[in-house]
């Protein structure tokens, strides 16, 4: 574990929070991720989670087998699922002696100077309290389709920039950015060289893919924030990344 206290934004995608079928939440997965974040907090790091998963949680409650295409139906799933998602986080973090705070944001919130400052002040105050982990999600119930962040990938970069984070960790269902042969690319310094490697490979319950993750990484890196994309289904990777070990794909800050 790195000795220096860091401000870390962690993005948890739908694929690592939901069941294998993508319907409903995987409580065991959430519990494991929370334990890893809890260890970071106890080590003195400030952690903010940008979490997807509300729609997947809502699908289960509403008895749907696949993510609906209609915006209103997706928003309904998110409205039902968001409370379940937060309850899962709150229960898991309570076992770690940590409280959670919920913030729902839209693109307009971060695009508006006043809202931008309000969000930053709120998050900064929460982090100053110590054992509190803010959990951020896009406000899917009011966001319109063309303004969606892309499974919160872009949102995670925006939040990292907002907070002047030391590190952005994007956890997904794959091991990182892969080359044409399927091998993980460990280090990316030039985004133009790897742009051809990505495609829209999003799952049936997520709205992003490696394309949006690469865009988010580029946004954060330009702002001076290093990014790590890695698998969220492998235990212990969060510790390794924060300790500076090469895991997944690393994008050094410029």
Find residue 16's DSSP bridge partners. none
What tokens appear for 88 in the block? 């899962």
Residue 24 within a domain:
yes
What tokens appear for 98 in the block? 């940590």
- The span from the CA of 207 to the CA of 178, in Å, is 19
Range of the domain at 127: 7-251
Residue 168 within a domain:
yes
Q: How many domains does the chain have?
A: 1
Residue 243 within a domain:
yes
pLDDT of residue 1: 46
- Answer positive or negative: Cα dihedral of 63, 18, 153, 106: positive
Q: What is the pTM of this model?
A: 0.91
Residue 44 within a domain:
yes
**Known binding site for substrate: residues?**
52, 140, 152
**Known binding site: residues?**
11, 52, 140, 152, 207-213
**Known binding site for ATP: residues?**
11, 207-213
Residue 2 within a domain:
no
Nearest-CA neighbor of 214 among 160, 251, 159?
251
Q: What is the CATH number of the domain that holds 208?
A: 3.40.1160.10
**3-class state of residue 136 by DSSP:** strand
Blockwise average pLDDT, block size 10, the chain, 254 residues? 80 93 93 98 97 92 88 89 97 98 88 91 96 92 54 90 97 90 91 75 54 93 98 94 94 94
Contact residues for 93 (Cβ-Cβ < 8 A; gap 6+) = 34, 37, 38, 99, 100, 133
B/e letters for 132-151, b = 16+ CB within 10 Å, e = fewer, are: bbbbbbbbbbebeeeebbbb
pLDDT of residue 143: 63
pLDDT of residue 148: 54
What count of Cα atoms within 13 Å lies in the side-chain half-sphere of residue 248?
A: 30
pLDDT of residue 67: 86
- The span from the CA of 26 to the CA of 20, in Å, is 8
Residue 1 within a domain:
no
- The span from the CA of 124 to the CA of 168, in Å, is 16
């Amino acid at each position: 574990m790195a000795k220096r206290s860091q401000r870390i934004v962690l993005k948890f995608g739908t694929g690592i929070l939901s069941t294998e079928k993508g319907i409903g939440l995987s409580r065991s997965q959430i519990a494991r991720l929370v334990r890893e974040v809890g260890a970071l907090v106890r080590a003195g790091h400030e952690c903010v989670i940008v979490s997807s998963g509300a729609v997947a949680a809502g699908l289960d409650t509403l008895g749907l087998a696949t993510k609906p295409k209609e915006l209103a139906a997706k928003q309904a799933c998110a409205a039902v699922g968001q409370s379940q998602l937060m309850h899962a986080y709150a229960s898991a973090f309570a076992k770690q002696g940590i409280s959670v705070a919920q913030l729902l944001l839209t693109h307009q919130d971060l695009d508006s100077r006043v809202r931008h400052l309000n969000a930053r002040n709120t998050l900064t105050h929460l982090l100053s309290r110590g054992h509190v982990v803010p959990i951020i999600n896009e406000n899917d119930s009011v966001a319109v389709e063309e303004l969606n962040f892309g499974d919160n990938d872009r949102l995670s970069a925006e939040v990292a920039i907002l907070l002047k984070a030391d590190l952005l960790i994007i956890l997904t269902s794959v091991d990182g950015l892969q080359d044409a042969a399927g091998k993980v690319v460990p280090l990316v310094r030039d985004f133009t060289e790897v742009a051809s490697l990505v495609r829209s490979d999003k799952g049936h319950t997520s709205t992003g893919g490696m394309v949006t993750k690469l865009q988010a990484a580029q946004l954060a890196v330009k702002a001076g924030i290093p990014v790590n994309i890695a698998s969220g289904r492998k235990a212990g990777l969060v510790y390794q990344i924060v300790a500076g070990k090469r895991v997944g794909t690393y994008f050094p800050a410029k």
